[in-house]
Structures are given as structure tokens and as C-alpha cells.
Amino acid sequence: MFSFGQLIFGLCFFIVFIGVIIYSYKTDKKNQPKYFKGSYKILLGFLIAFSLLVLIKYLTQK
């Protein structure tokens, strides 16, 4: 499906992208803390929804 080089690029891109997102989040949170109250709830909700979608896909593949 993907070549080895494409998989390595995808993995490196993912790691760098997540690093930039975390850095940006921390910088913005320091500068404007009132906009980030309760943001962990949004992240938690997203992770739960994504996990449910993966679970549904896994269960319906059989």
C-alpha cells in the first residue's frame, strides 16, 4: 500500500506536527489563559469519539 519511505515520512511528519501543536498550545495558554479553561474536556471528548469510531469499525468488519 505505502512504500517504506512514505511510511517513514508520515511518521516523521506526525511527530513534528504534534510537537508544533503542543508548543503552540503552551505558548497560547500562557498568553491568553481565559480562552483555555476546560480545553481538556474537548480533547477528552474527541479521543472518546475517535475511539468509538474505531471500535465500531472493528466490530462491524467481522
Q: How many domains does the chain have?
A: 1
d(CA 36, CA 43): 12
d(CA 23, CA 29): 10
Judged on CB neighbours under 10 Å (0-12, 13-18, 19+), 1 is exposed
d(CA 18, CA 54): 21
- Residue 37 domain boundaries: 4-60
**pLDDT per residue of the chain (62 residues) written in tens, 0 to 9:** 889 999 999 999 999 999 999 999 889 888 888 888 888 899 899 999 999 999 999 899 86
Q: State pTM to two decimals.
A: 0.59
